[in-house]
Amino acid sequence: MHLAFEHVSKLYGPVIGLNDFCCRIGPGITGLFGSNGAGKSTMMKLASGQLRPSQGRVMIGEHSAWSTAAKRNLGYSPDTDSFYESMTGRAFVTTMTRLYGYSARESRERAEKAIADVGMTDRADRKIAGCSHGMRQRIKLAQAMVHDPAVLLLDEPMTGIDPGGRREFKQLLERLAGEGKAVLVSTHILDEIEDLADQILMVARGRLVASGTINDIRNLIADEPFSVEIVAEPARQLAAALMAFGVVLSVAIRGDTLTVRTTNQMEFFGQLGKIGAEGNIAIRKLEVLDAGAEAVFGYLAGGRGA
């Protein structure tokens, strides 16, 4: 099953929350990335049927996201905490399962499975008021999973989770994706999803500025300037050779370390490889400084995403 945005716009009076947004999210893990205020929360609320679009359609399978039929196939973990604080985690998840319409027995069984899946079995009898933020995140995820939905919307799910917990979350989400579920993970911290998501949607000012794998997105700016740090011996000889490259904009030297500003990745690395193969200069270390997803997004949001 898929989640689709078809030319969706959402207006809040004169303010545009989402502007002609189009995407199709299928099975697998999709990361939704953007800074605060970029439109992620609006997109999540439209996908979960909390808001109706001003224009366009939001569809879960063949059904409008606003419809009851769509919600049967949807699990949602919001970024806000809205709990009955006096309840235990187990009671909360079981109650939410009952609200889906399951019998008392099946609700207990489903709740126990979901609680185990998120690693909360031994802590589920604590009152939610006394739970840490990470534990509350796990409880939210458990209630989103109890009815085995085809589409999961997880809004900032890893906030407050320790590194060990993040590894467990990653394994769980990968298992769910392997079962054919469409998992949409929203975050404003790209490190959380760069190694997790199969696809990434980058949003800025209510628009989709890029989509695809992080390598696909990097290729969009292959000809844009980027920085490379190189440790080499002799460094000055390499600097002189690099400055002869037509694509190199500048070279800064600090001891045996060069910081190179260049364009055209394919040509630059091709020529650098030839220098290394000649054997006159030893290249000890090579690191692209701004090829991470954050840097890519910064360019797209500030330039092509404008």
Tell which CATH architecture fits domain 3-217.
3-Layer(aba) Sandwich (3.40)
Output the pLDDT for position 306: 38
Output the pLDDT for position 305: 38
Most confident listed range (68-77, 79-88, 209-218):
68-77
Residue 303 has pLDDT above 90, yes or no: no
Output the pLDDT for position 298: 59
For the chain, what is the HEC assignment?
CCEEEEEEEEEECCEEEEEEEEEEECCEEEEEECCCCCCHHHHHHHHCCCCCCCEEEEEECCEECCCHHHHCCEEEECCCCCCCCCCEHHHHHHHHHHHCCCCHHHHHHHHHHHHHHCCCHHHCCCEHHHCCHHHHHHHHHHHHHCCCCCEEEEECCCCCCCHHHHHHHHHHHHHHHHCCCEEEEEECCCHHHHCCCCEEEEEECCEEEEEECHHHHHHHCCCCCEEEEEEEECHHHHHHHHHCCCCEEEEEEECCEEEEEECCHHHHHHHHHHHHHHCCCEEEEEEECCCCHHHHHHHHHHCCCC
* Residue 145 banded pLDDT, cuts 50, 70, 90: very high
Contact 186, 32 (CB under 8 A): yes
Per-residue pLDDT tens over the stretch 201-239 = 988 888 888 888 877 776 666 666 778 899 999 999 999
Mean pLDDT confidence for 188-205: 80
Residue owning tokens 């975050």: 187
Output the pLDDT for position 180: 94
* Residue 159 banded pLDDT, cuts 50, 70, 90: confident
Domain ranges of the chain: 3-217, 220-302
Output the pLDDT for position 304: 45
Q: Is 257 exposed, middle or buried (0-12, 13-18, 19+ CB in 10 A)?
A: middle
Output the pLDDT for position 5: 97
Output the pLDDT for position 193: 75
Does 258 or 246 have the greater pLDDT score? 258
Report pTM: 0.74
Output the pLDDT for position 146: 95
Preceding peptide of 53 cis, ω within 30° = no
Rg (Cα) of the chain, in Å, rounded? 24
Residue 292 has pLDDT above 60, yes or no: no
Output the pLDDT for position 221: 60
Most confident listed range (1-10, 30-39, 151-160):
1-10
Mean pLDDT confidence for 135-163: 90
Q: What is the mean pLDDT of the chain?
A: 87
pLDDT > 90 in the chain, percent: 54
Residue 52 has pLDDT above 70, yes or no: yes
Output the pLDDT for position 134: 86
Mean pLDDT confidence for 143-164: 88
What is the distance between the alpha carbons of residues 190 and 210, in angstroms, rounded to a whole number? 14
Closest CA to 294 of 158, 229, 200: 200
Q: Is 247 exposed, middle or buried (0-12, 13-18, 19+ CB in 10 A)?
A: middle
Output the pLDDT for position 296: 55
Residue 302 has pLDDT above 70, yes or no: no
Output the pLDDT for position 164: 79
What is the distance between the alpha carbons of residues 172 and 11, in angstroms, rounded to a whole number? 36
Output the pLDDT for position 166: 81
Residue 95 has pLDDT above 60, yes or no: yes
CATH class of 220-302: alpha beta
Residue owning tokens 């628009």: 207
Output the pLDDT for position 65: 95
